[in-house]
């Protein structure tokens, strides 16, 4: 009460409101005299009567505003008076300080208890000071509250103006608005601009929701006409995060024409996050892909790149994945229809070249197949006759046990010049008898022997006669 600015600001406010009331009253008087001159002279006819009606309404508002300002000035003055009364009733701080100082002196010199009655009187006076201050503050609060309760809200005064007809709320401009901060006609809510909007911060006409821009949108943050959902941009869209024209896409977040699903870009895609034309599945890019993460044209399955690839890593016949090339149907194939093939239209496992019918089995015989390019190292097999081999080279020369060719090392070979065991064909023809039995058995010089008909070697000794 004693440290603040006091009643000065309240008295200044009362004077300002009083001056405003006088100016409004003077303006109303001047306007009234002008209207009297116009209506009695040049203002004639229906238009003049309509203008007089509006002008009379404005005069009534000036009169009400002047009365309101005068009342505010009076209540401000009453509040200032209540403050001054409370200030006068409040105990001065110097009196309180003197009471506390005397209390300390009496307490310090009360050696034999002679100051006890005086101390009690000082304490009683101090308590009385608190009671007086409480009464003063309570009275001030009651008087100030009564003065404030007599003030009428200015919205009630402004409601009589033509710019604020039919509004229920605060700071609306237009006709038939309900809420706050609306500009236009028939808006309901807050911060709407336009006609017939319902919600908050809509711009346009007939929007329902929040933050819509356009006409006839239902939802939130739509831009366009007739969209239903949230964050749509376009016309007649249904869903969320749509872009374009309604009826062209179905789903969420699609861009283009005829898409269904989520996050597709292009035409006639179905699924999620596809880009291109006619894709179905997930994360496909290109034309006519089905499956997942395919790139190119007509791929089926997963993780294929190229043209007309099929399933990834499948055990089914005619399936493939991770293929690169044209019309592959196997796993890890390059340019053909086989597994681990290289070439064009290879149909076997592990072929090298083209048009090989063999199979990567080292134990199976097959007809000799001319290779596209003969490898440097001949194949090896078991009981083979011109095996096509594991590499699919189709070499007619085969080495191994029971080989039917010539010039190979193994067992039971039936050709010529074949080192090994039990070879059946002459390997070392005998002079004079090239086809006798036993030809081809390995010979040793440790036990010299000769075949029938073979001339002997060495020194011949004479035979002793009897």
CATH of the domain at 16: 1.20.1260.20
pLDDT digits (tens, 9 = 90+) for 356-390: 444 333 334 444 444 444 444 444 433 434 343 34
Can you tell me the distance from the alpha carbon of 9 to that of 76, in angstroms, rounded to the nearest whole number? 10
DSSP 8-state assignment for residue 23: H
- In contact, 24 and 84? CB cutoff 8 Å: no
Backbone conformation region of residue 193, classed left if phi is above 0, alpha if psi is from -120 to 50, else beta: beta
Does the pLDDT at position 148 exceed 70? yes
Q: What is the model's pLDDT at position 394?
A: 40
Q: Is 285 among the domain residues?
A: no
Q: Is 171 among the domain residues?
A: yes
Q: 89 and 193: one domain? A: no
Does the pLDDT at position 152 exceed 80? no
Q: What is the model's pLDDT at position 156?
A: 65
Q: Can you spell out the DSSP letters for 119-163? A: HHHHHHHHHHHHHHHHHHHHHHHHHHHHHHHTPPPHHHHHTTSTT
Q: Is 423 among the domain residues?
A: no
Does the pLDDT at position 335 exceed 50? no
pLDDT digits (tens, 9 = 90+) for 266-324: 877 878 898 888 888 888 888 878 788 888 877 767 676 766 665 544 434 344 444 44
Residue from 72, 80, 70, 73 nearest 144 by CA: 80
Top-ranked range on mean pLDDT: pick from 84-88, 146-150, 234-238, 315-319: 84-88
Higher pLDDT, 115 or 375: 115
Q: What is the model's pLDDT at position 461?
A: 56
pLDDT digits (tens, 9 = 90+) for 198-223: 998 999 988 999 999 998 899 999 98
Q: 36 and 80: one domain? A: yes
Does the pLDDT at position 442 exceed 70? no
Please state the rounded mean pLDDT for residues 388-403: 43
DSSP SS3 for 180: strand
Which residues, in sequence order, are bridge partners of residue 96? none
Q: What are phi and psi of 86, to 5 degrees?
A: -65, -40
Q: 24 and 144: one domain? A: yes
Q: What is the model's pLDDT at position 307?
A: 64
Q: What is the model's pLDDT at position 449?
A: 53
Q: 32 and 152: one domain? A: yes
Q: Which of 158, 191, 219 is the last residue of a domain?
A: 158
Q: Which of 119, 140, 158 is the last residue of a domain?
A: 158
Does the pLDDT at position 101 exceed 90? yes
Q: Provide the residue range defining the domain that includes 187.
A: 164-206
Q: 122 and 149: one domain? A: yes
Can you tell me the distance from the alpha carbon of 52 to that of 37, in angstroms, rounded to the nearest whole number? 12
Computed over every residue of the chain, the mean pLDDT equals: 72
**Alpha-helix runs per DSSP H in 150-258:** 154-158
Q: Is 457 among the domain residues?
A: no
Please state the rounded mean pLDDT for residues 152-178: 62
Q: 26 and 137: one domain? A: yes
Please state the rounded mean pLDDT for residues 35-39: 83
Q: Is 26 among the domain residues?
A: yes
Helix orientation angle between 93-108 and 116-149, rounded to the nearest 10 degrees: 160
* Element at 265 (helix H, strand E): strand 265-267
Q: 141 and 170: one domain? A: no
Q: How many domains does the chain have?
A: 2
* Matching residue, tokens 């097999």: 381
Q: Is 25 among the domain residues?
A: yes
Q: How confident is the model at residue 338 (pLDDT cuts 50, 70, 90)?
A: very low
Q: 92 and 178: one domain? A: no
Higher pLDDT, 376 or 194: 194
0.75 exceeded by the pTM? no
DSSP SS3 for 85: helix
Q: Is 109 among the domain residues?
A: yes
Is 130 exposed, middle or buried, given 0-12, 13-18 or 19+ CB atoms closer than 10 A? exposed
């Amino acid at each position: 009460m004693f440290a603040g600015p006091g009643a000065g600001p309240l008295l200044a406010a009362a004077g300002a409101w009083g001056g405003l009331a006088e100016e409004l009253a003077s303006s109303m008087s001047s306007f009234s005299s002008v209207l009297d001159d116009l209506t009695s002279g040049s203002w004639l006819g229906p238009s003049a009567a309509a203008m007089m009606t509006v002008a009379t309404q404005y005069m009534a508002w000036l009169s009400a505003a002047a009365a309101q300002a005068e009342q505010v000035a009076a209540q401000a003055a009453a509040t200032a008076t209540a403050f001054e009364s409370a200030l006068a009733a409040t105990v001065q701080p110097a009196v309180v300080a003197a009471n506390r100082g005397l209390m300390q002196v009496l307490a310090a010199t009360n050696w034999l208890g002679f100051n006890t009655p005086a101390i009690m009187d000082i304490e009683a006076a101090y308590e009385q000071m608190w009671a007086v201050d409480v009464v003063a503050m309570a009275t001030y609060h009651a008087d100030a509250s009564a003065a404030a309760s007599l003030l009428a809200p200015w919205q009630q005064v402004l409601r009589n103006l033509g710019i604020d007809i039919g509004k229920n709320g605060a700071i609306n401009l237009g006709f038939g608005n309900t809420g706050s901060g609306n500009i236009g006609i028939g808006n309901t809510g807050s911060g709407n601009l336009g006609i017939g909007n319902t919600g908050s911060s809509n711009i346009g006409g007939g929007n329902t929701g929040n933050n819509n821009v356009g006409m006839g949108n239902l939802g939130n943050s739509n831009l366009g006409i007739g969209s239903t959902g949230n964050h749509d941009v376009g016309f007649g869209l249904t869903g969320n995060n749509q872009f374009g024209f309604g009826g062209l896409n179905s789903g969420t977040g699609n861009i283009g024409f005829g898409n269904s699903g989520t996050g597709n870009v292009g035409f006639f895609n179905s699924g999620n996050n596809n880009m291109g034309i006619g894709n179905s599945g997930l994360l496909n890019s290109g034309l006519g892909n089905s499956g997942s993460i395919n790139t190119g044209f007509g791929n089926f399955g997963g993780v294929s790149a190229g043209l007309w690839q099929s399933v990834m890593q499948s055990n089914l016949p005619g399936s493939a994945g991770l293929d690169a090339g044209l019309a592959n149907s196997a796993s890890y194939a390059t340019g053909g229809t086989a597994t681990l093939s290289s070439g064009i239209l290879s149909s076997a496992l592990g072929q090298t070249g083209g048009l090989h019918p063999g199979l990567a089995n080292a134990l199976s015989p097959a007809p000799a197949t001319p290779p596209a390019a003969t490898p440097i190292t001949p194949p090896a097999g078991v009981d083979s006759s011109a095996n096509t081999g594991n590499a699919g080279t189709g070499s007619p020369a085969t080495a191994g046990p029971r080989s039917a060719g010539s010039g190979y090392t193994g067992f039971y070979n039936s050709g010529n010049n074949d080192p090994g065991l039990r070879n059946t064909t002459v390997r070392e023809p005998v002079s004079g008898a090239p086809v006798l039995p036993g030809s081809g058995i390995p010979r040793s010089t440790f036990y010299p022997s000769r075949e029938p008909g073979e001339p002997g070697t060495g020194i011949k000794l004479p035979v002793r006669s009897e």
